[in-house]
Structure 1
């Protein structure tokens, strides 16, 4: 179980899953660890699981219970206040299930993107899910492949660099480099997420689209609301022919238990022949190699801990993780060239500075930028808020 931040170790446990239909329209799923938690990151899953109850032909009610014994001493102090019921809690399970069920509905039943075939939408959704999993795995140095941490704890002042060997992509590269850092921003998570997604501001901080006009080409699927989407973006420099355009596949979702925006450049020709027209896929040819870049967001719990009646993420600050992956060439003996790590750290440092400057400037431009601006009194008035997430049990209705 991964939370995409280098400052939060992944939790690993081996567990038994039992599923049973109690009666018509009522299913129970129970998980319990088969080990004592001592060998896998000191985590043991006590009886946990889901109660899934049909309430209408098109929807069901899901109750999630997450009950674990875990040693979180390896978690950085920045994230310690978030560990009680937020980062790995039941709310996160339910939010993910709601998002994926709504997206599957769009892909299979709704014509969100009529210009794309059902098979094409399924392929793009699979790529988007893989993109998010690869992003999280690279940041936590777990998941697919064996990651080796070269340097850094993963803070803004101590950027983490890791790599893993690969046979994907061009033969001139034999490894994937992952760079990540977590930091605190003095902006509410809601505002941070909205500013990052704003395509007008994208060219100010994103090196992939620097100097380009960014437009949304097509929305493949939506999750719960307009904040949960899988989209294809089109970037075009002024004066360039259409054949020189850049396509970006983007996967983003918003929830107080963990918001994200992850994307990767994808060749427009590959997009057309392998995804949008999947029937033209040559036999035996695999999918494109995608190198995720993105952000993982979490509300700064300490900054909003005394609020009342305000949704978590609407006030206080944001814990933001930035990360990207790039293909590199390893030196002999599977060692990383020192210049590769130095260049990656420099790129991350510059990107962090650009993102912080852009977000703060745009936020100041919207709200007046002064401490006594129109939002100051409201923020001070509500600077005391957090949802009570202490309970391990959370229910939510899910659309099929």
Structure 2
């Protein structure tokens, strides 16, 4: 589903967000997910952007997949503690894994769970996650049908390559960021100005945080 979300086709059209100072290329797509949301009035929105970062793909992958880093780029997690409490490793690389993460407040109150899959090899990497509430996770652990679970995948893809304009031959990262949320205030094909403003802030703040953290530490190291 994540791969389908970030692919632009005739049946998968994107709309560019215009009119925001400093906006490079943030695009949105509305999806009519009646079966997915179980709600006739809910619409889901995917918003994405891509950029080059002067940092190695391995370093960027390790940063984005690790639970300790999430509070540095996810505005919804800034005041939370994220901990992996279950995982399944796929192969010899410990970064290739499916993880269950728990987000709690400083008082230990549970806020949300995240189901996350991360994978990397020489051709590219991805970190994809989806939020799950406590009731859904409990139901799954008791054997309920996973096909009935609502999954809205968000995350990152990373492709290696030379940074445009640089001639040192070092491998940089082409990062695509995509978030998938339910926007109950929107009806297809219209996105309210309030939603556009919130979408733009969420993705640009995430990108700025990633750049400021990863690229800064890379230059210092």
Name the TM-score, length of structure 2 as normaliser. Answer: 0.84
- Structure 1 residue 296: Cα displacement: 0.5
The residue number in structure 1 matching 2:150 is: 289
The residue number in structure 2 matching 1:166 is: 33
C-alpha root-mean-square deviation of aligned residues, in Å? 2.9
The residue number in structure 2 matching 1:353 is: 208
Q: Contact 1:260–1:297 (CA<8 Å) still a contact in 2?
A: yes
Relative distance call for 1:332 and 1:197 in structure 2 (3 A) is closer
Gapped regions of structure 1 (runs ≥ 5): 1-133, 308-314, 368-400
Relative distance call for 1:351 and 1:191 in structure 2 (3 A) is same
- Structure 1 residue 164: Cα displacement: 1.4
Runs of 4+ that moved beyond 4 A: 302-307, 330-333
The residue number in structure 2 matching 1:122 is: none
Q: Contact 2:126–2:156 (CA<8 Å) still a contact in 1?
A: yes
Q: Contact 1:220–1:232 (CA<8 Å) still a contact in 2?
A: no
The residue number in structure 1 matching 2:14 is: 149
Give the alignment of 1:31-42 within 5 angstroms: none
Relative distance call for 1:332 and 1:316 in structure 2 (3 A) is closer
**1:199 equivalent in alignment to 2:60:** no
SS at match of 1:211: coil
- Structure 1 residue 334: Cα displacement: 3.6
Give CA-to-partner distance per residue, 1:238-293, whole Å, 9 cap, x none: 1133xx2421100110112120001111112211212x221xx28xx952212222
Give the alignment of 1:179-258 within 5 angstroms: 179-241=47-109, 244-258=110-124
Relative distance call for 1:356 and 1:306 in structure 2 (3 A) is closer
Comparing 184-193 with 327-336, greater Cα deviation is found at 327-336
The residue number in structure 1 matching 2:142 is: 277
The residue number in structure 1 matching 2:161 is: 300
Give the Cα separation in 1 of the matches to 2:37 and 2:156: 24
Give the Cα separation in 1 of the matches to 2:60 and 2:90: 20
Q: Contact 2:46–2:179 (CA<8 Å) still a contact in 1?
A: yes
The residue number in structure 1 matching 2:182 is: 327
Name the TM-score, length of structure 1 as normaliser. Answer: 0.49
The residue number in structure 1 matching 2:127 is: 261
Give the Cα separation in 2 of the matches to 1:364 and 1:198: 20
Give the Cα separation in 2 of the matches to 1:214 and 1:363: 24
Give the Cα separation in 1 of the matches to 2:96 and 2:167: 26
SS at match of 1:225: coil
SS at match of 1:140: coil
Give the Cα separation in 2 of the matches to 1:362 and 1:195: 11
SS at match of 1:227: coil
Relative distance call for 1:150 and 1:277 in structure 2 (3 A) is same
Give the Cα separation in 1 of the matches to 2:121 and 2:89: 17
SS at match of 2:108: coil
Report the number of matched residues. 216
Gapped regions of structure 2 (runs ≥ 5): none
